[in-house]
Amino acid sequence: MVLKKYNINPDLALERQKCTFDIEEIINIFDGGKEKTSQRRKIEDVVLKSGLCHDDVPEECMSLKERYENAVRKSCFFSKLMKTELQEITGIEDFETPAIRRIADALFKDISPFLLHLGMFVPTIIGQCTSEQLMIWLPKALDLQIIGGYAQTELGHGTFIRGLETTATYDADTEEFVLHTPTLTAHKWWAGGLGKTINHCIVVAQLYTKGVCYGTHLFMVQIRDLDTHMPLPGIKVGEIGPRMGFSSADNGFLGFNNFRIPRNNMLMKHAQVQKDGTYVKPARHGKLTYQTMVFVRVTLVNEAAFNLSKAVTIAVRYSAVRRQSEMRPNEPEPQILDYPTQQHKLFIGIATAHAFQLTANWLWNTFKSVLSDMKKGDVGTLPELHALSSCLKAVCTSDAALLIEQCRYACGGHGYMLSSNLPYIYSFVAATRTYEGDYTILLLQTARFLVKAWEQAEAGKTVTPTVSYISRSLKGEKNSWRSTDEGIIKSFQAVAAGKIALCVKSIRDRMKSGLDYEDAWLLTTVQLVDAAEAHCRSVILETYCNEVRRLTKSSSDNVKIVMHQLVTLYLSYWTLQRTGDLLRYSSISEKDIDFMQRQYEELLQHIRPNAVALVDAFDLRDEILHSSLGAYDGRVYERLMEQAENNPMNAEPVNQSFHKYIKPLLQGKL
Ligand X SMILES: Cc1cc2nc3c(=O)[nH]c(=O)nc-3n(C[C@H](O)[C@H](O)[C@H](O)COP(=O)(O)OP(=O)(O)OC[C@H]3O[C@@H](n4cnc5c(N)ncnc54)[C@H](O)[C@@H]3O)c2cc1C
Ligand Y SMILES: CCCCC/C=C\C/C=C\C/C=C\C/C=C\C/C=C/C(=O)SCCNC(=O)CCNC(=O)[C@H](O)C(C)(C)COP(=O)(O)OP(=O)(O)OC[C@H]1O[C@@H](n2cnc3c(N)ncnc32)[C@H](O)[C@@H]1OP(=O)(O)O
Rounded Cα–Cα distance for residues 418 and 114 (Å): 23
Rounded Cα–Cα distance for residues 558 and 264 (Å): 59
Closest CA to 629 of 470, 377, 416, 362: 416
Binding part of the chain for ligand X, among 30-38, 168-176, 187-195, 656-664 by CB under 6 A, reads 187-195
293 binds, among ligand X, ligand Y, none (CB under 5 to 8 A by kind): ligand Y
State how beta strands 167-171 and 200-209 pair: parallel
Q: Which of 27, 47, 100, 106 binds ligand Y (CB under 6 A)?
A: 100
Least Å distance, CB 158 to ligand Y, is 6
- 438: contact with ligand X by CB under 6 A: yes
Least Å distance, CB 286 to ligand Y, is 7
638 close to 600: Cβ distance less than 8 angstroms: no
Within residues 292-331, the interface with ligand Y by CB under 6 A covers: 293-294, 296, 299, 303
255 binds, among ligand X, ligand Y, none (CB under 5 to 8 A by kind): none
Q: Which is nearer to ligand Y, 344 or 448 (CB)?
A: 448
Binding part of the chain for ligand Y, among 158-166, 409-417, 534-542, 607-615 by CB under 6 A, reads 158-166
Q: Which of 28, 70, 128, 152 binds ligand X (CB under 6 A)?
A: 152
- 150: contact with ligand Y by CB under 6 A: yes
- 150: contact with ligand X by CB under 6 A: yes
Rounded Cα–Cα distance for residues 418 and 411 (Å): 12
284 Cβ partners below 8 Å, 6+ apart?
270, 374, 377, 379
597 burial (CB, 10 Å; 0-12 / 13-18 / 19+) is middle
648 close to 433: Cβ distance less than 8 angstroms: no
**Long-range contact pairs involving 86-92 (C-beta distance under 8 Å, separation at least 24):** 86/43, 86/46, 86/47, 89/39, 89/42, 89/43, 89/46, 90/39, 90/43, 92/142
Q: Which is nearer to ligand X, 127 or 158 (CB)?
A: 158
75 close to 114: Cβ distance less than 8 angstroms: yes
440 binds, among ligand Y, ligand X, none (CB under 5 to 8 A by kind): ligand X
Tally the C-alpha atoms within 13 A of residue 516's C-alpha that lie toward its C-beta: 1
Residues facing 154 on adjacent strands: 188
Least Å distance, CB 398 to ligand X, is 12
Q: Helix and strand tally (H, E) in the chain? A: 26, 11
Q: Which is nearer to ligand Y, 279 or 435 (CB)?
A: 435
Examine the residue annotation and report whether 602 is marked as an active-site residue of this protein.
no
Q: Which is nearer to ligand Y, 290 or 454 (CB)?
A: 290
- 218: contact with ligand X by CB under 6 A: no
User: Total number of residues binding ligand X (CB under 6 A)?
Assistant: 21
Q: Which is nearer to ligand X, 152 or 524 (CB)?
A: 152
Rounded Cα–Cα distance for residues 425 and 420 (Å): 10
Least Å distance, CB 27 to ligand Y, is 21
- 441: contact with ligand X by CB under 6 A: yes
Q: Which of 113, 127, 192, 415 binds ligand X (CB under 6 A)?
A: 192
Helix (H) or strand (E) holding 237: strand 235-239
385 close to 407: Cβ distance less than 8 angstroms: no
Q: Which is nearer to ligand Y, 297 or 490 (CB)?
A: 297
DSSP-based three-state secondary structure for 266: strand
- 246: contact with ligand X by CB under 6 A: yes
Known binding residue 192? Answer is yes
294 binds, among ligand X, ligand Y, none (CB under 5 to 8 A by kind): ligand Y
CA angle 79/85/86 to nearest 5° reads 65
115 binds, among ligand Y, ligand X, none (CB under 5 to 8 A by kind): ligand Y
The greatest distance separating any two alpha carbons of the chain, rounded to the nearest whole angstrom, comes to: 90
Q: Which of 154, 303, 436, 542 is catalytic?
A: 436
Binding part of the chain for ligand X, among 87-95, 431-439, 494-502, 574-582 by CB under 6 A, reads 431-439
Q: What share of the chain is helix, strand, coil (3-state, %, to 5)?
A: 60, 10, 30
Closest CA to 337 of 565, 636, 570, 608: 608
Helix (H) or strand (E) holding 151: strand 148-151
Q: Which is nearer to ligand X, 384 or 436 (CB)?
A: 436
Site string for ligand Y, 101-130 (x = CB under 6 A): x--x-------x--xx-xxx----------
Rounded Cα–Cα distance for residues 188 and 210 (Å): 25
264 close to 133: Cβ distance less than 8 angstroms: yes
Least Å distance, CB 10 to ligand X, is 42
Q: Which is nearer to ligand X, 205 or 545 (CB)?
A: 205
217 burial (CB, 10 Å; 0-12 / 13-18 / 19+) is buried
Q: Which is nearer to ligand X, 30 or 121 (CB)?
A: 121
Q: Which is nearer to ligand Y, 382 or 613 (CB)?
A: 382
Least Å distance, CB 522 to ligand X, is 8
Within residues 89-148, the interface with ligand X by CB under 6 A covers: 116
Site string for ligand Y, 349-388 (x = CB under 6 A): ---------------------------------xx--x--
Within residues 156-185, the interface with ligand X by CB under 6 A covers: 157-159
Q: How many CB atoms lie within 10 A of CB 619?
A: 21
Site string for ligand Y, 423-452 (x = CB under 6 A): ------------xxx---x---x--x----
186 close to 155: Cβ distance less than 8 angstroms: yes
Known binding residue 209? Answer is no
Rounded Cα–Cα distance for residues 473 and 494 (Å): 7
- 152: contact with ligand Y by CB under 6 A: yes
Least Å distance, CB 191 to ligand X, is 4
20 Cβ partners below 8 Å, 6+ apart?
558, 561, 562, 609, 610, 613
Least Å distance, CB 514 to ligand Y, is 24
Least Å distance, CB 187 to ligand X, is 12
Rounded Cα–Cα distance for residues 392 and 46 (Å): 34
Residues 390/585/528/437 CA torsion (nearest 10 deg): -20
Least Å distance, CB 586 to ligand Y, is 29
Q: Which of 191, 273, 494, 566 binds ligand X (CB under 6 A)?
A: 191
- 484: contact with ligand Y by CB under 6 A: no
User: Total number of residues binding ligand Y (CB under 6 A)?
Assistant: 34
292 close to 123: Cβ distance less than 8 angstroms: yes
Q: Which is nearer to ligand Y, 306 or 573 (CB)?
A: 306
Which residues sit in the known binding site for FAD? 153, 192
Question: Can you give the binding site for ligand X, defined by CB under 6 A?
Answer: 116, 150-153, 157-159, 190-192, 246, 251, 431, 434-438, 440-441
Question: Can you give the binding site for ligand Y, defined by CB under 6 A?
Answer: 100-101, 104, 112, 115-116, 118-120, 150, 152-153, 158-162, 192, 287, 290, 293-294, 296, 299, 303, 382-383, 386, 435-437, 441, 445, 448
Catalytic residue annotation? 436
